[in-house]
Structure 1
Amino acid sequence: MSIAENIARVRANIAAAAREAGRDPAEITLVGASKMNDAAACREAIAAGIDALGENRVQEMTAKLAEHAYDGAPLHFIGHLQRNKVNKVVGHVDLIQSVGSLELLDEIERVAAARDLVQDILLEVNIGREEAKSGFAPEEVLAGAEAAAARTHVRVQGLMTIPPADADREENLRYFQEVQALYVDMNTKLFHNELKYLSMGMSGDYEDAIRAGATMVRVGTAIFGARNYT
Structure 2
Amino acid sequence: MTISDNLKMVRSRLPDHVELVAVSKTKSNQEIMQAYDAGQRVFGENKVQELVRKQEELPNDIEWHMIGHLQRNKVKYLAPFVTLIHGVDSLKLLREIDKQGKKYQRVIPCLLQMHIAMESSKFGLNREELDEILELDGLEHVKLVGLMGMATFTPDMEQVRKEFAFLSSLFEYCKTRRPGFSILSMGMSGDYEIAIEQGSNMVRIGSAIFGARNYP
Residue 116 (structure 2) aligns with:
127
Contact 1:30–1:51, Cα closer than 8 Å, also in 2: no
1:16-35 map, 5 Å = 25-35=15-25
Contact 2:27–2:214, Cα closer than 8 Å, also in 1: no
Q: 2:193 aligns with which of 207, 210, 216?
A: 207
Residue 172 (structure 1) aligns with:
160
Amino acid at match of 1:220: G
User: Take 2:213 and 2:168, find their aligned partners in 1: how far apart are those partners?
Assistant: 29
User: Take 2:59 and 2:3, find their aligned partners in 1: how far apart are those partners?
Assistant: 15
Determine if the alignment matches structure 1 residue 77 to structure 2 residue 63: no
What percentage of aligned pairs have identical amino acids? 40
Deviations 1:112-135 (A, max 9, x none): 112221111101001126432221
Post-superposition offset of 1:99 = 0.5
CA RMSD of aligned residues (A): 1.6
User: Take 1:145 and 1:39, find their aligned partners in 2: how far apart are those partners?
Assistant: 38
Match of 1:157, SS? strand
Number of aligned residues: 216
Residue 36 (structure 1) aligns with:
26
List gaps (5 residues or longer) in structure 2. Answer: none
List gaps (5 residues or longer) in structure 1. Answer: 15-24
Dislocated runs of 4+, deviation >4 Å: none
Amino acid at match of 1:59: Q
Determine if the alignment matches structure 1 residue 140 to structure 2 residue 126: no
Amino acid at match of 2:115: N
Post-superposition offset of 1:85 = 0.4
Deviations 1:176-228 (A, max 9, x none): 0100110011011222xx42210000000001000000000000000001113
Q: 1:220 aligns with which of 193, 206, 215?
A: 206
Post-superposition offset of 1:61 = 0.9
1:94-133 map, 5 Å = 94-128=83-117, 130-133=119-122
Amino acid at match of 2:32: C
Amino acid at match of 1:204: G
TM-score, normalised via structure 1 length: 0.88
TM-score, normalised via structure 2 length: 0.94
